[in-house]
Amino acid sequence: MKILVTGAAGFIGSSVSQRLLERGDQVVGFDNFDPFYARTIKEANLKALESPAFDFQMGDLLDNEALRSCLKGVDGAIHLAALAGVRPSLENPTRYMRVNVEGTTTLLQACQELQINRLVVASSSSVYGPRTETPFRENDACDRPASPYAASKKATELACATYHHLYNLGITCLRFFTVYGPRQRPEMAIHKFVRLAMNGEAIPMFGDGTSGRDYTYIDDIVDGTVAAFDRQRGDFQVYNLGGSNPVLLRELIDAIGNAIGKPVDLEQKPWQPGDVPVTSADVSLAQKDLGYSPKVDLAEGLKRFVTWYREQNGE
């Protein structure tokens, strides 16, 4: 098959693209090298995808003509491009809404016009908001987002539901739960914490360390994303993709110390606006429909990440 992957130079996008290429698909990669983090990192991600079956096109989600050009002749699309991050969205909420909601709608409209009827769209566990009842299920109310980023992802899901209703587009939205692993963005917690600890610097602990996250290793996310694309046959569905084992922040920091083989220092920080107390995925629906079953636990995932980090930094 020939598949468009938006955000193909990013962490998840490059990992999904690599899996598709390895199994024999053709991939059209689409990315605009947004300066949220260094372009050199994204170029390194793309270098791992070099293949006659990989066609990279630089372009912006808000550019209808660029999107239409990349969509011509594809069998479907996996839409992973977005402005990411809860805290940065508080500083520039308008841009987050424009890129994530308007950009996704531009893609949906182009797919409708070109009659492309197989889409997978990345959403986020952040749509569940500051709830404490766990685990989170796909049919839970998601009407109290705690950040502009979360609101933009919920709005993206609603746009997808609308296009399915109006035009019968086959769309699957995937709520990713705190993805980590090789190629992870440098500002994300695990990457940042490992970097600080390896350099002998203190790790910031926001709040009292009792916030919990359902960390999900990248290979498990790739498994679920590809399975969702393969399954899509014209309906609209939302799935959680998580690790199903929430870990407290203070437990994560201890686990990082174990993974790098030395104790870590902490710097106490206040609770951050936009953060939520816990995320926890019920993945029973994804397990039933997609055969999704997370295989990499936190200890193993951190071990793999630290190995990758050391290789990247010559340590």
Tell me if 273 sits within 8 A of 89, measured CB to CB: no
Structure tokens at 255: 């686990």
244: left (phi over 0), alpha (psi -120 to 50) or beta: left
pLDDT value for 23: 97
**Burial zone of 27 (CB within 10 Å; 0-12 exposed, 13-18 middle, 19+ buried):** buried
Residues 88-134 pLDDT 10s? 999 999 999 999 999 999 999 999 999 999 999 999 999 999 998 99
Q: Which helix (H) or strand (E) holds 240?
A: strand 236-241
The catalytic residue positions are: 149
In this prediction, residues 32-59 reach a mean pLDDT of 96
Q: Which residue has the tokens 């698909």?
A: 25
Q: Are 153 and 100 in contact (CB under 8 A)?
A: yes
Q: What is the C-alpha to C-alpha distance for residues 120 and 226, in angstroms, rounded to an integer? A: 9
pLDDT for 233 equals 85
What confidence tens digit (pLDDT) does each residue in 223-273 have?
999 999 999 989 999 999 999 889 999 999 999 999 999 889 999 888 888
Does the pLDDT value for residue 3 go beyond 80? yes
Q: Is the pTM of this model over 0.85?
A: yes
DSSP letters spanning 24-63: T-EEEEEE---TTS-HHHHHHHHHTT-STTEEEEE--TT-
Question: 314 pLDDT exceeds 80?
Answer: no
Distances (CA, A) of 73 to 117, 180, 220, 297: 12, 32, 29, 39
Tell which residue, 151, 301, 170, has the closest CA to residue 228.
170
Average pLDDT over residues 147-163: 98
Give the list of residues 6+ apart from residue 204 with CB closer than 8 angstroms, or none. Answer: 266, 267, 269
User: How would you classify the pairing of strands 203-206 and 54-58?
Assistant: unpaired
DSSP 271: P
CATH topology of domain 2-178+218-242+280-295: Rossmann fold (3.40.50)
Q: Rounded CA gap, 28 and 67, in Å?
A: 11
Predicted confidence (pLDDT) at residue 78 exceeds the cutoff of 80? yes
- Tens digits of residue pLDDT in 58-76: 999 999 999 999 999 999 9
Cis bond upstream, residue 148 (ω within 30):
no
pLDDT tens string 170-211: 999 999 999 999 999 999 999 999 999 999 999 999 888 899
Read off the pLDDT of each residue in 261-290 and give the average, rounded to a whole number: 92
Residue 120 is predicted with a pLDDT of: 98
Confidence of residue 313 (pLDDT cuts 50, 70, 90): confident
Confidence of residue 161 (pLDDT cuts 50, 70, 90): very high
